[in-house]
Chain A
Amino acid sequence: MTANMSTSEKIDANPQHQIEEKNKPRNGADVLIQALHEQDVDIVFGYPGGAVLNLYDAMYKNPIRHILTRHEQGAIHAAEGYARVLNKPGVVIATSGPGATNLVTGIADAMIDSIPLVIFTGQVATSVIGSDAFQEADVMGITTPITKHNYQVQDVNDIPRIVKEAFHIANSGRKGPVLIDFPKNISASIFDEALGEASRNEEIYLPGYQPNYKPNYLQIQKAIQAISTAQKPLILAGAGVLFAEAREELTEFVEKYKIPVVNTLLGLGSIHGNHSLNYGMAGMHGAVVANDAIQNADLLINIGARFDDRLTGDTRLFAPNATIIHIDIDPAEIGKNIPTDIPIVADAKEALKALLKKEFQAPDTAAWIDYLNRKQNDYPYWYEEDGQEILPQQAIQMIHTITNGDAIVTTDVGQHQMWVAQYYRQNHGHRWITSGGLGTMGFGFPAAIGAQFAQPDKKVVAIVGDAGFQMTAQELALLKEFNLPVKVVILNNCALGMVRQWQELFYENRYSHSLMPVQPDFVKLADAYGLKGYRINTLDEAGAIFEEALNSDEPVLIDCRVKQLENVYPMVPTGKALHEMIGVKKP
């Protein structure tokens, strides 16, 4: 750092040097950083290394806000959190070999949850690719199945075009991660300004990539016909509604035609959590009423969800009485898991707008809504207090009350994730950040960091488990370094809760390697990073400590000790259908 400072001071002190610097021809790295500026990238998450030294040098000369995480996995999950909150691409830089392979989990996570990312990886020089050079890995080969698209730059003059295409692909159609592999010699090659200018000005031309946004007129007609004659219509709203920014259209449509809604895990927030026609989350740990609605509906309108197996349960018995309308921007999702009667390949917003434009006979859903309301009253989420130990559900309810349900909430995967989905009602869009499809432990905390960078003025709460948190705990350094007021709440049950729950229910209590009796002192860990830590041991003290910690302006870590043997209910056991839930009522 000191050496760098003195060099830059020297340059500043000598105007001759500045002129020389200015007139120097630009190399690939300079052009790439410039291309990021042209894409209005305001922040990148990354980690330097040998193969990206040129890039980092270009960044030093042409500054772009770069967040140095403590592990590449932290960088990519932070970029995912950022992308999810702002619904625009997160940008990641890592070096070749281990830098790139450390990103793999995050890339796969973004792919399955359709999160837009643009990822730059360094690569060894083209002359030695394939020779098992130092820090070489076949990143193109490794990431082809887990990216929406990937590039290896072969010619320095292609950089402006490739960067432009990458951002376009990542953030259009069904969003997803795009990776650009950048050999070191290309980043050092001199850029031909004339050729490059031409490449920059070229219109994006991707004949093999033409996502369809507008719905087909005939299919909309068929959908209208089906909706107006249905008696028990139901909307299943997925994350596609949020990606398409179609929250308002969905709410308007639901209210206009009085159609009940259920959400997927990732679709939570696509309609207000307390909307009278919102019956909550469906699926494995969804609300009884939501699953019952699916099983009894005579028309299911899936908007932007992909009929994931955790949602459908046994697909053969899924929504047995329903005609299926499936609206999705990705044609490959339609008919993949559930046979579809009326496919509509379109953007959720465009499809809803087309449906709203037509005036048609509203279905009479009064009896259906009445039925669902009774179900909802009869089968609320439940838990059994024991008055001493804190139940994780109670902790989440307290957090919900104190933050007024307005916080950006992130989680890992597992029991705590399901409880947050159940008890932290999402009243807004883009404030619920969780690893859905891949189910990635270690996701929640770095994702919260990215979310806080994206929304510096909003309250961001990372609700994580004790095991998942330890997978990316090193990023605590960032809270201190940037004074990021993220609130980390560890629901600490000294166990891999969901693994333990499955072992209890399906493996006769054989807790094979799912208990973690030895945990670090998380309060001291926070202290080691210069952060304020709290511990909550009893229900009596919980309210006051949560109140103080969550309302603080500073980063805090809360080690909340919760009951170890608590289970997530209700539950659809694997292989069973949605109507075969267990634990639907307090025993």
Chain B
Amino acid sequence: MKRVITVSVINQSGVLNRVTGLLMKRQFNIESITVGHSEQQNISKMTFVVNVEDEVKLEQLIKQLSKQIDVLKVNDITEKSIVLRELALVKVVSPANLRLEMNAIVEPFRPQIIDTSKNVVTYQVVGHPDKIDAFIELIRPYGIKELTRTGVTATVRESQPSDTPQLSILK
């Protein structure tokens, strides 16, 4: 099952290696990983998308990450109401005679054209990874020259649905 995990870490050298090394050592499969500064000084936030077999493995992943001394907080936000975003840069062959057609069909994805040359156009597309997948499939027949994706970053929405039974902790 695919899980989205956010991790707050103390921002010092080696911390990325610590976290990814741990996942490798314990045989977890990382689908994507993003890292960057957070709102607090010296604290970085990582967002992982990982594929885990079952609940037991997931619990291990979270506990092993939490055990790292440079790791401050680990959250599995998959079940929460969240905003997931990824950015892709897609360089596509686009001769002048096809360009209008291409721009028209990709329009619903609201990509931005951030670079062009005589025969090539570079789209920037932002959104849920599924949307980016769909965009890529749509544009593929025209000939993708180069494709680069940032991986997923995510944040939890301010308002969460409140259907969680209040006493579930006591079960």
Q: Map CB proximity to A onto B4-20 as digits: 1 under 8 Å, 0 otherwise.
A: 00000110011001100
A144 to B25, CA, bound (A): 11
A148, A149, A207, A339: most-surrounded residue (chain B CB, <10 A): A207
Asked if B71 is an interface residue, CB under 8 A from chain A, the answer is yes
Q: Which residues of B have CB within 8 Å of A207?
A: 10, 72
Closest to B72 in A: A208
Cβ-Cβ contact count across A and B, 8 Å cutoff: 40
Asked if A206 is an interface residue, CB under 8 A from chain B, the answer is yes
Q: Which residues of A have CB within 8 Å of B70?
A: 208
User: Which secondary structure dominates chain B's binding surface?
Assistant: helix
Asked if B56 is an interface residue, CB under 8 A from chain A, the answer is yes
Closest to A207 in B: B72
Closest to A140 in B: B14
Q: Which residues of A have CB within 8 Å of B9?
A: 208
A144, A154, A339: most-surrounded residue (chain B CB, <10 A): A144
Asked if B68 is an interface residue, CB under 8 A from chain A, the answer is yes
Asked if B63 is an interface residue, CB under 8 A from chain A, the answer is yes
Check if B69 sits within 8 Å of A149, measured CB to CB: yes
A535 to B56, CA, bound (A): 54
Check if A335 sits within 8 Å of B56, measured CB to CB: yes
Check if A330 sits within 8 Å of B67, measured CB to CB: yes
Asked if B36 is an interface residue, CB under 8 A from chain A, the answer is no
- Contact of A332 (CB < 8 Å), options: B17, B18, B56, B63: B63
**What is the interface residue range for chain A against chain B?**
10 to 19
Closest to A173 in B: B67
Asked if B64 is an interface residue, CB under 8 A from chain A, the answer is yes
A152 to B12, CA, bound (A): 11
Q: What distance in Å separates the Cβ of A412 from its nearest Cβ neighbour in chain B?
A: 26
Check if A144 sits within 8 Å of B69, measured CB to CB: no
Asked if B21 is an interface residue, CB under 8 A from chain A, the answer is yes
A148 to B21, CA, bound (A): 13
Asked if B22 is an interface residue, CB under 8 A from chain A, the answer is yes
Check if B60 sits within 8 Å of A144, measured CB to CB: no
Residues 1-44 (chain B) with a chain A CB within 8 angstroms: 9-10, 13-14, 17-18, 21-22, 25
A144 to B19, CA, bound (A): 10
Check if B69 sits within 8 Å of A145, measured CB to CB: no
Asked if B53 is an interface residue, CB under 8 A from chain A, the answer is no
Q: Map CB proximity to B onto A79-120 as digits: 1 under 8 Å, 0 otherwise.
A: 000000000000000000000000000000000000000000
A152 to B17, CA, bound (A): 14
A210 to B66, CA, bound (A): 10
B63, B69, B72: most-surrounded residue (chain A CB, <10 A): B69
Task: Knowing A144-B14, A144-B17 are in contact, say whether A208-B25 is a contact too (CB < 8 A).
Answer: no
Task: Knowing A144-B17, A145-B22 are in contact, say whether A208-B59 is a contact too (CB < 8 A).
Answer: no
Closest to B17 in A: A144
Task: Knowing A144-B21, A331-B63, A335-B56 are in contact, say whether A208-B14 is a contact too (CB < 8 A).
Answer: no
Q: Which residues of A have CB within 8 Å of B22?
A: 145
- Contact of A208 (CB < 8 Å), options: B17, B60, B69: B69
Task: Knowing A144-B18, A208-B72, A330-B67 are in contact, say whether A335-B59 is a contact too (CB < 8 A).
Answer: yes
Asked if A517 is an interface residue, CB under 8 A from chain B, the answer is no
Q: Which residues of A have CB within 8 Å of B25?
A: 145
Q: Map CB proximity to B onto A326-356 as digits: 1 under 8 Å, 0 otherwise.
A: 0000111001100100000000000000000
Check if B63 sits within 8 Å of A208, measured CB to CB: no
Check if B63 sits within 8 Å of A141, measured CB to CB: no
Q: What distance in Å separates the Cβ of A216 from its nearest Cβ neighbour in chain B?
A: 12
Asked if A506 is an interface residue, CB under 8 A from chain B, the answer is no
- Contact of B60 (CB < 8 Å), options: A149, A152, A336: A336
Closest to B73 in A: A208
Closest to A218 in B: B170
A505 to B149, CA, bound (A): 54
Residues 286-310 (chain A) with a chain B CB within 8 angstroms: none
Task: Knowing A144-B17, A144-B18, A145-B21 are in contact, say whether A332-B71 is a contact too (CB < 8 A).
Answer: no
Q: Map CB proximity to B onto A169-210 as digits: 1 under 8 Å, 0 otherwise.
A: 100000000000000000000000000000000000011110
Q: What distance in Å separates the Cβ of B42 from its nearest Cβ neighbour in chain A?
A: 11
Check if A208 sits within 8 Å of B56, measured CB to CB: no
Check if A209 sits within 8 Å of B69, measured CB to CB: yes
Closest to A208 in B: B72
A332 to B61, CA, bound (A): 9
A515 to B18, CA, bound (A): 41
Closest to B61 in A: A332
Between-chain CB contacts (< 8 Å), 16 pairs: A144-B17, A145-B25, A148-B69, A169-B69, A206-B69, A207-B10, A208-B9, A208-B10, A208-B68, A208-B69, A208-B70, A208-B72, A330-B67, A331-B66, A332-B63, A332-B66
Q: Chain B interface (Cβ within 8 Å of chain A)?
A: 9-10, 13-14, 17-18, 21-22, 25, 56, 59-60, 63-64, 66-72
The 9 closest A-B pairs by CB, nearest first: A332-B63, A209-B69, A149-B69, A208-B72, A145-B25, A208-B69, A208-B71, A332-B64, A332-B67
